[in-house]
Structures are given as C-alpha cells and as structure tokens.
Chain A
C-alpha cells in the first residue's frame, strides 16, 4: 500500500513537472492586428494565408536584406558573389545547421527549394524563375550556384528572401500548393507549438545554429480584429509588441509612460496618382502645374499631426537618399507656388473663364475632378481635402471619392479614376523596386483590365530603358546613373505627386524586454511580425 502511494506520488510529480515544462518561462507576446485562418505553415502561400510565425520564426531564408538601407545580414547563406558577367550568383551556405527534426541542412536543400518553386509556378510568388533565373544547383554541400539567362541583379532581394524548406520532408508532399505543412520542419529559432483562433505560440528551438540565441523561450501571437483592439492590449501591458497604425503614437501611446515606446521609420511614400490614360491628366504640363499647387508640408501636417513628415519629391526614402538621390533632383522638383501653377496652366492651354473656372483644352470648363481614397481612411481623406483646397484657387473643383477597399484598389488598377491617394506599390532595398513596380510597362494594363501595380498607367521609354539598365549591372555607379535617369524622368512627367512619407508601425513596451530595433540600432526595417525581418527582433529581444 505504502509502495502504491509512493508510485502515485511520483506519477503526480512527473505529471506536474511536465505541465510546468509546457508553460514557457519567458514569452514574447505580440498583439496581432488581425485574425488568422486555418492551421497553415506553408511558407509558399501568400502571407495572409499562412500563420504569422511561418516566415518570421520557423522557416529561414538565405539572407535578410534590410529594406531601409539595403544592408545584407547572412542567415542560411554566409556569403554571395556575382560572376563578372553577372550571370552566376554563387552562395555559400552555413555549415553545421540542423533542421528542427534533427537532420542536417545542406546546399542541396537550397537547390531543392528553388527547383520546387520552378516545378510549381503557383508557389513562385516573387517571380524568381520568370525574371531571369535559369538553373539552381548545389555544386558541393556548402555551395549553391544560381545561373541567370538574363541579367537581373536586383532579383537578389527576392532570392535572398525565399524561405528554404527541407528536401527530406517536402519531396514526399504530393501537392505543395495545397499542402498546409501542419507540423513544419524548419531551421528557424522557434518551432511550432500551440494553435487556435485566439493565439499561436512557438517555442525556442533548442538546436538553433546561433549559440545562446534566441533569449526568449517562446513567442506568442494574440489575434484581434483591428488596430484599436490591439492598441488596447498594448496599453494594458498584456503584450510586448504590436505592428499597429495608430493616429498619434506620441499622445495615444508614448505619453502613457517611459516603457511605452514606438519606432516608426520611413519605408515608403503616399502619393497622389494621376490617371494618365484620360484628359486632362494625360498632359504632363497639366500634371506638373497641379504638382506645384499642392502644399505637401501642409498635407503631412494635417493628415498625421506632425508624426509623419512630407515625402521627398523623388519618393526616395530618407535612409536611401544619401546613396541614391541624384543631385539634379532638387532643381527639378516642383516647388509649392500657386501663382506659378496658375500661370503654367494658362500657358499649357488651360485658360480661366470670366467666372474663374478652369477650362479644358476644348474650351469647356473642367468637370469636378474626383480624388479616390479608401472609405473611412481619415488620413487619406484629409489629404484629399487639403489637395482640394489647394486646387480651388486655380479654378479646379474636386470631390472626395470614398470607396471600400476592394473597389478602391480595383478602380486604381483598372484606370477607372481621375486622381487618387495611395501608397507606393513597391518597396525594397533601393529606389529601383519602387520605380520598377510603379512605372514598368509590364505592370500596367489597358483601361478596364487589371494593372498589377502601375496605378498611374504611365510609361516612358527613357524610364523603361533606365529600369533595364539598373537591373543588368551589379556596379553601384552604373545603378546610380540609371536611378538618376528614372528619378529625373518621373520628376519631369509627374505621373504622381509624392505627398507624405509612409512608415513602419513598431509599437512596443520595454517593461519586460529590451533589445528592440530603433533608430540607433536599426537591425531590421520595423518589419511586421509575420515577415522575414521580424525574426531578427525575436532573436534580439532579451528578458530584463
């Protein structure tokens, strides 16, 4: 009997200690601003379809390229070199790395992953195989050679960020497109643990290749339905981090105490896009005149209460200006000058009639021009109102056209708008990504068809040539030359007016953890917690 009690006690102790083990000691908690779908850790499905930890905690990439300044952080790749003709990219892979199931990682896994998305074009979300890659081979267990049929050096950004999956697991998968990878095997600092509609948790990978890191035992994401609900979690101190766009982080968050902090680095722009497929916006002279009538400083001040600055007229973000902004840009950029705008319009053939209305080239008064914004997006609506007030003295009437999200984006993409406020539909480690995705002819489309990202539906042969020139060299000097042409061409033609900066939305609480990225230590680009860059934050945050 006594023996029996002892066994029972031992059993209970064992059960209790396993239960205690199951609760991680330090959990880094994230307020997720959205809900998520079903259990899916397939890294090749679009970001909204797979769970937040997929790219940021479980699967790793070859490198991390910081979109703010282009700095490259080695991950599974340790070093990369371009051949002299830029047609071969040789990548050394990290030795001694193990998959979370204990098997060794090698260059073969990298080659396998690239060829997997070649065999399944639906998985190739960044167009790696469509944009010049011809073959990917492991030349030895620690080296991968990527050959290109056409030179495309900026593609490195996407090559670097392709999530690498284990060959020994994925080679048995029948349909990788619909595979939900419920027990993911990765090389990342964390392994999947709990999943529900309310929260997701990943635990520290004890065999992670970086010794001593991560410092936290677990990362947990808590779902909510929007910014307000997430902010509430942050204000209550329930979570340590959130990627939350709030109207004024200074008063709404930072003012609550010294541990309530935010880091909102500029990573993109908001711009006024002109529909260059229709009059009067098809006339560069008209667009330039409008541009010089808009007071972008006032737009930024009114829309973001001084938290977000006005955009640079070239749309190049501050962290890239030193390296990439051409010296000639300043003289070409439109200056806010209503009187000059008025004269320029008249000179271009748009006269004013006796009632002060601006006339089109056909002599009839211009119709009321609509400014397309998202329904209820107060920042964009404010921008539209300031622009409307700026254009009124020129005799141009405007109205704000609010559309729900899907028709907002659809109207832009099918060229069914006059002018509209949207963000830069492209971003990356150099201004190339923004200019390429915003103005390349292949991302435009005829009116009525969906353009991928060229919202202004604007092309210019000189610009197209410069884009090609940039992508076919690995010489920074030549790329600077090409950037200069892109920037000056766009400044002359003004298919858009960059209005305000656009920022990342890191909101965090230093009560429990330190080591968050900020201006002094910008080791990532304020990456959202489901993206490649967030992994660096999870590796660097330290319990106090």
Chain B
C-alpha cells in the first residue's frame, strides 16, 4: 500500500506541475487572442471590436499575472475551464464533451487494435523463427513503423478517396443523417476506416518488434528448457509461460500509449479533418484560444498520468516482485 500511496502523491504533484506549465506555456506565444482575431478577419472587423471582445472574453482587467494564476488554479479546482474564445460563448467543457468521444472512439480503438495485431504477429514471428513469413515480418514492421504518419495518410487519401471514390476524403459523418440509424452507422464506419488504417499500419509494426524481442528473451530462459524437459505441450508452454512473461514489458508501454490516445491524435485528426480533441487543439492553438488550449492540454496530462498510475497499480497484481517492494 505505501507503494501505491507514494505513486498517488507523485500523481498529484505532477498534476500541479502540469497545470502550472499549462498556465505559462500558452502565454509565451506572442500576440493575444483579440489581436489574433483581428488578424483573422483581414480588415473586415472594425478595430473598435477590440474593446468589445476584451469585455466579452473577460480580458479587460485581469490583474497581475500572479493573481491571474491563482484565479486560474481556483477555477480548475471547481472544474470550471471557462468559455472558449474561438467558439464564444460555448463553455470549454462542452466542446471537450463533444470532441472527446470521437477521439477516444477512433484513436482508442485503433490503439488497442494495433497493439493486439502487432503483438500477435510479434509472437508468431518469434515463435516460428526460421520460417519464411516469420522472418519477413520484422523488416516489414520496421519499414512501416518508420514511415511518416501523414505521408501514409496522404497516400491512402490519394488512392482511396481521390483516385477512386471508395472512402470520403475526411470528416466523421455525412450531412443530414438521423443519429443511430443504419445509414448513420455505415457513414460513421466509412469515415473511420482510412484514419484507422493509417494508425494501425504505422503503429502495429512497433508492437510487433517489441513483442518479438520480449518473446525471444523469454525463450532463452532456463525455465523454458525445464518445461520442455518436463514434457509440457507446446501450446501450454506458449500460453502459460512465454506469453505471460513476454506481455509484461509490452503492457507498460501499452498503458502509456493509451494515455497518449488523447494527445497523439493531432496529426491524424488534422489530416482527415476528424473533429476530435486533436483537431480542436490545433485550431485552439492557431486562434490563441487559451481556455480551450489549457483544458485540452490538461486533459492530455491527466490521461497520461492516470494511465501511468493505473499501470503502476495493475503491476501490483501482475508482478509479485513489485507487491513485495523489492522491485522498483
């Protein structure tokens, strides 16, 4: 238990650091939100809008940076993230609520899928080492894994959306559909396929290599030789001894990856204009929408930290060495 308590304390401390950085970083970008808005209108907005917008966004009298910081922390504790300036007057929490399901749905599912697919092939490639297919897999995986993400996305868009009209170029749904109907679902899936493929193609290779290395490590262990000598079936050895031990390191990385689901989605979502948190974060940064930016950053930080904490907690169950306090 002290192990978990210590981890939890660390979690709280890191959260505070993240919240503070979150306050400072956006303010290091030159310019201010009202100025950015003036620029965006390219001469169409009267400069008198500056006064009006400052009142609207609550930027007219904020006090010193320190006062602003404590006011910010206080609001955070109440779960009040403020109102988005680029989508005024929508509360930031509402925007996140709208965008998060899309991100978690698309990126979450594909992260799990690429982990499962990659690990399965990794296991196969190590277990059947020497076979033609098994030996061809690692170089292929390395190749796919090192391809730039947006490049894969662009190639997919070009071949399947522009040259042949199989999949839509971007977006998440067709217009004017009733949510929940069969048409709606098929539209949703049609829109998700290309972004999902992009993630799986580039991410699965990494899991394959990791898993293959883990399995090879385990296969060299003495206890496997002993198990074989004992006459255990290959199936039993694979399931009970190899897989369980090899999964452990992969599992830590997987926990981290799940934490990064929120933040790792910016590129996919921008290329495919998929309306998730990543796209909103990108838009918030270009529009200097501090409240939205801060909320999404914090959301990412929390996701990563909580995922880490959960992995730590889960390790207690998985690995007896941690439970006994000998491992670190």
Choose among B42, B47, B56, B283 the residue that contacts A452 (Cβ–Cβ < 8 A): B47
- Answer whether A180 and B89 are a contact pair too, CB < 8 Å, given A196-B175, A414-B30: yes
Q: In the complex the two chains form, what is the Cα distance from A423 to B39 in whole Å?
A: 9
- Answer whether A453 and B30 are a contact pair too, CB < 8 Å, given A49-B88, A158-B46: no
Choose among A45, A194, A268, A407 the residue that contacts B88 (Cβ–Cβ < 8 A): A45
- Chain A residues with CB below 8 A from B42, complex form: 268, 423, 425
Whether A126 contacts B46 by the Cβ 8 Å rule is yes
Choose among B29, B46, B173, B175 the residue that contacts A127 (Cβ–Cβ < 8 A): B46
Whether B175 contacts A199 by the Cβ 8 Å rule is yes
Choose among A42, A46, A49, A198 the residue that contacts B171 (Cβ–Cβ < 8 A): A198
Whether A407 contacts B29 by the Cβ 8 Å rule is yes
A40 at the interface (CB under 8 A from B): yes
- Which of A72-80, A222-230, A318-326, A330-338 faces chain B? A222-230
CB-CB nearest in chain A for B44: A427
- Total inter-chain residue pairs, C-beta < 8 Å: 179
- Answer whether A197 and B46 are a contact pair too, CB < 8 Å, given A40-B90, A121-B55, A406-B36: no
CB-CB nearest in chain B for A410: B31
A131 at the interface (CB under 8 A from B): yes
B86 at the interface (CB under 8 A from A): yes
Q: In the complex the two chains form, what is the Cα distance from A223 to B46 in whole Å?
A: 26
A358 at the interface (CB under 8 A from B): no
Whether B48 contacts A197 by the Cβ 8 Å rule is no
The smallest beta-carbon distance between B186 and chain A, in angstroms, is 15
- Chain B residues with CB below 8 A from A426, complex form: 43, 47
Choose among B43, B56, B287 the residue that contacts A268 (Cβ–Cβ < 8 A): B43
Question: Which B residues from 55 to 89 make CB contacts under 8 A with A?
Answer: 55-56, 83-84, 86-89
Whether B48 contacts A416 by the Cβ 8 Å rule is no
Q: In the complex the two chains form, what is the Cα distance from A404 to B287 in whole Å?
A: 11
B267 at the interface (CB under 8 A from A): no
The smallest beta-carbon distance between A181 and chain B, in angstroms, is 11
Whether A406 contacts B44 by the Cβ 8 Å rule is no
Whether B47 contacts A410 by the Cβ 8 Å rule is no
A437 at the interface (CB under 8 A from B): yes
Choose among B35, B83, B87, B94 the residue that contacts A450 (Cβ–Cβ < 8 A): B35
A443 at the interface (CB under 8 A from B): yes
What is the interface residue range for chain A against chain B? Answer: 35 or more
Q: In the complex the two chains form, what is the Cα distance from A220 to B32 in whole Å?
A: 34
Main secondary structure of the interface of B (DSSP, over half): loop
Q: In the complex the two chains form, what is the Cα distance from A194 to B43 in whole Å?
A: 31
B319 at the interface (CB under 8 A from A): no
Whether B52 contacts A123 by the Cβ 8 Å rule is yes
- Chain B residues with CB below 8 A from A404, complex form: 286
Choose among B38, B89, B279 the residue that contacts A40 (Cβ–Cβ < 8 A): B89
Q: In the complex the two chains form, what is the Cα distance from A225 to B42 in whole Å?
A: 19
Question: Which A residues from 92 to 137 make CB contacts under 8 A with B?
Answer: 121-127, 130-131
CB-CB nearest in chain B for A422: B39
Main secondary structure of the interface of A (DSSP, over half): loop
The smallest beta-carbon distance between B161 and chain A, in angstroms, is 9
Question: Which B residues from 135 to 190 make CB contacts under 8 A with A?
Answer: 162, 169-177
Q: In the complex the two chains form, what is the Cα distance from A196 to B84 in whole Å?
A: 19
Choose among B34, B43, B48, B283 the residue that contacts A124 (Cβ–Cβ < 8 A): B48
Whether A405 contacts B32 by the Cβ 8 Å rule is no
Whether B47 contacts A197 by the Cβ 8 Å rule is no
Whether B29 contacts A423 by the Cβ 8 Å rule is no
Chain B proximity mask over A514-542: 1 for CB below 8 Å, otherwise 0: 00000000000000000100000000000
A205 at the interface (CB under 8 A from B): no
The smallest beta-carbon distance between B117 and chain A, in angstroms, is 29
Whether A424 contacts B48 by the Cβ 8 Å rule is no
B197 at the interface (CB under 8 A from A): no
Whether A229 contacts B43 by the Cβ 8 Å rule is no
Whether A229 contacts B273 by the Cβ 8 Å rule is yes
A63 at the interface (CB under 8 A from B): no
Question: Which A residues from 12 to 54 make CB contacts under 8 A with B?
Answer: 35, 37-38, 40, 42, 45-49
- Chain A residues with CB below 8 A from B275, complex form: 35, 197
- Chain B residues with CB below 8 A from A121, complex form: 51-52, 55
Whether A177 contacts B89 by the Cβ 8 Å rule is yes
Whether B273 contacts A225 by the Cβ 8 Å rule is yes
- Chain A residues with CB below 8 A from B50, complex form: 452
Whether B53 contacts A46 by the Cβ 8 Å rule is yes
Whether B47 contacts A406 by the Cβ 8 Å rule is no
Whether B55 contacts A122 by the Cβ 8 Å rule is yes
Whether B47 contacts A437 by the Cβ 8 Å rule is yes
Whether B39 contacts A405 by the Cβ 8 Å rule is yes
B270 at the interface (CB under 8 A from A): yes
CB-CB nearest in chain B for A197: B275
The smallest beta-carbon distance between A153 and chain B, in angstroms, is 15
B95 at the interface (CB under 8 A from A): yes
Q: In the complex the two chains form, what is the Cα distance from A460 to B24 in whole Å?
A: 38
- Chain B residues with CB below 8 A from A194, complex form: 175-176
- Answer whether A410 and B90 are a contact pair too, CB < 8 Å, given A201-B176, A229-B273: no
A187 at the interface (CB under 8 A from B): no
The smallest beta-carbon distance between A221 and chain B, in angstroms, is 9
Q: In the complex the two chains form, what is the Cα distance from A180 to B83 in whole Å?
A: 13
CB-CB nearest in chain B for A236: B165
- Chain B residues with CB below 8 A from A402, complex form: none
B15 at the interface (CB under 8 A from A): no
Question: Which A residues from 423 to 463 make CB contacts under 8 A with B?
Answer: 423-427, 434, 437, 442-443, 450, 452-453
Q: In the complex the two chains form, what is the Cα distance from A276 to B293 in whole Å?
A: 34
Whether B89 contacts A45 by the Cβ 8 Å rule is yes
Residues of B at the A interface (CB closer than 8 Å) are: 29-32, 34-53, 55-56, 83-84, 86-90, 94-95, 98, 162, 169-177, 270, 273, 275, 279, 283, 285-288
- A–B pairs, 22, beta carbons within 8 Å: A35-B283, A38-B87, A46-B53, A121-B55, A122-B55, A125-B46, A158-B46, A180-B89, A194-B176, A196-B176, A224-B171, A224-B273, A229-B170, A232-B162, A268-B43, A405-B40, A406-B36, A406-B288, A423-B43, A424-B43, A425-B38, A434-B43
